[in-house]
Amino acid sequence: MPQSPGHPNHGFLRRAHRFFMFMGIAYGSLLVLLTVPAVQRQVVFMHKLKIPWFGDYEHPEKSGLAPFKARNVRIQTPDNETIGAWFTVADRFYKSRAVAGPLTDDAITAALQQHPTVLFFHGNAATRVLTRRIAYYQAYSNRLGANVLAIDYRGFGDSTGTPSEEGLEIDARAAWDWLEARGARQEDILVVGNSLGTGVSVQLVSGLKSDGKKPRGMVLLAPFTSTGTLMETYNIFGVFPLFSPLKTFPFIIKLMRRFVLHRFDNLSKIAALECPILVVHAEDDWDIPFVHSETLFGAFVEPHLPALSLLPGPTWAESDELSRLQATLEQRTEARGKLVVQRDIEGLGTTETFKRNATDDTVVFLKTKWGGHDVVGLLEGVQDVMGEMFSLSIF
């Protein structure tokens, strides 16, 4: 007797089951791999992606900078690594040079003494030769009248060594010391970091504070609160959520955090820093959500607000816990309104400004309507806010 054919959907269901089982195994394998130090290092820093692959570090003019406006330099670190960097002079200084030709040591010293300097820390992957990063050097030199020292961390570009959280902090301090050794005054150095570079910036300024040094200020472009927190919100290439599938399993995320080697805990350090700070984030940043910047800015304001009591328990309806909580929230909103000044910048975004009484330093959070993750700092409106806040100008 012939067998009756199976249901036409059974084959599809079997294939779908195999597919999702395969995806689950692949995702689980990825999580396990991320606990391996070498793999985790590559995911965090992506330093092996030396884009552009055949960049000419020795000749910045081949990448679009004016002839002899920038010089390739090598910076030695205390732990015997060699860091590659470009030093670009302020456009006004460049045009005032009486003698054309390569930048000499004396010319670099003169530029540092006559103009402020941006110490620039880029994000993960690629090198200082990347076209988008060169656009930053050009903007700061041409529109803000500043010199720019841009380094490639250890393991990046033509720099020696292997990256780590501690290693990048050493590199950043070596770059700062290089500037000071050549005549730069600490009040003339503006520390600017983008993405991963914001973690490097916070570490540097924190270390400078311990040594009694204070930069002109610090600019954080698309920062994050910490690497551990970033795991929960980060989107690979701005599209693929890395840990979002685990939100229903918080214990797994908590376990994964224990394996994070390079923590870059900006949130725990930033409120103690004593210098003017500008935090910039775009609403359309699909890599790192702007809630990270909101949290960082909130770290400055929170200590000045009424303490928030515990959330009501199961019996809140039979007690006055809820009314007390509502009253506290209203008090916090009122207090924040008095402490934080908000301003709309048409065509750009909004700023929130908080002035700290203890140090008289200003903290500003600029949330732009656009700019994404990598180019938010290239918006001329953002550069104008930087110029106004840190007294930078081509004139």
The full set of domain ranges for the chain reads 10-45+241-262, 50-240+263-390
Distance CA 166, CA 50 (A): 21
Selection from 129, 121, 123 nearest residue 46 by Cα:
123
Tokens 């270390």 -> residue:
207
Query: What's residue 39's pLDDT?
Result: 77
Mean pLDDT, range 376-391, rounded to an integer: 98
Query: What's residue 242's pLDDT?
Result: 65
pLDDT over 80 (residue 10)? no
Q: Average pLDDT over the chain, rounded to whole? A: 89
pLDDT over 90 (residue 229)? no
Distance CA 100, CA 67 (A): 9
pLDDT over 70 (residue 314)? no
Query: What's residue 362's pLDDT?
Result: 97
Highest-scoring range by mean pLDDT, 29-43, 183-197, 246-260: 183-197
Name residue 236's beta-bridge partners. 240
pLDDT over 60 (residue 53)? yes
Note whether 217 and 191 are within 8 A (CB): yes
The H or E element containing residue 301 is: helix 291-301
pLDDT over 80 (residue 291)? yes
Query: What's residue 100's pLDDT?
Result: 81
Query: What's residue 260's pLDDT?
Result: 74
Selection from 182, 198, 175 nearest residue 85 by Cα:
175
Query: What's residue 3's pLDDT?
Result: 54
According to CATH, the topology of domain 50-240+263-390 is Rossmann fold (3.40.50)
Report DSSP state, residue 6.
P
Strand-strand pairing, 70-76 and 82-88: antiparallel
Amino acid at 292: H
The whole-angstrom distance between residue 127's C-alpha and the CA centroid of its chain comes to 15
Tokens 């006055």 -> residue:
320
pLDDT-based confidence at 262, cuts 50/70/90? Answer: confident
Distance CA 83, CA 161 (A): 9
Query: What's residue 315's pLDDT?
Result: 57
Query: What's residue 209's pLDDT?
Result: 97
Mean pLDDT, range 318-332, rounded to an integer: 79
Query: What's residue 28's pLDDT?
Result: 63
pLDDT over 90 (residue 34)? no
> Tens digits of per-residue pLDDT, 171-194?
999 999 999 999 999 999 999 999
Alpha helices (H) along 182-265: 196-210, 227-233, 250-257
Selection from 210, 190, 218 nearest residue 361 by Cα:
218
Name residue 177's beta-bridge partners. none
pLDDT over 80 (residue 230)? yes
Query: What's residue 41's pLDDT?
Result: 84
pLDDT over 80 (residue 24)? no
Mean pLDDT, range 306-330, rounded to an integer: 71
Note whether 146 and 219 are within 8 A (CB): no
Distance CA 383, CA 266 (A): 23
pLDDT over 70 (residue 275)? yes
pLDDT over 80 (residue 317)? no
Query: What's residue 357's pLDDT?
Result: 78
E-strand stretches of 180-335: 189-194, 217-221, 235-236, 240-241, 277-282
The whole-angstrom distance between residue 182's C-alpha and the CA centroid of its chain comes to 27
Select the more confidently predicted residue: 358 or 182. 182
Query: What's residue 23's pLDDT?
Result: 58
pLDDT-based confidence at 325, cuts 50/70/90? Answer: confident
Report DSSP state, residue 94.
H
Proportion of the chain above pLDDT 70, given as a percent: 82
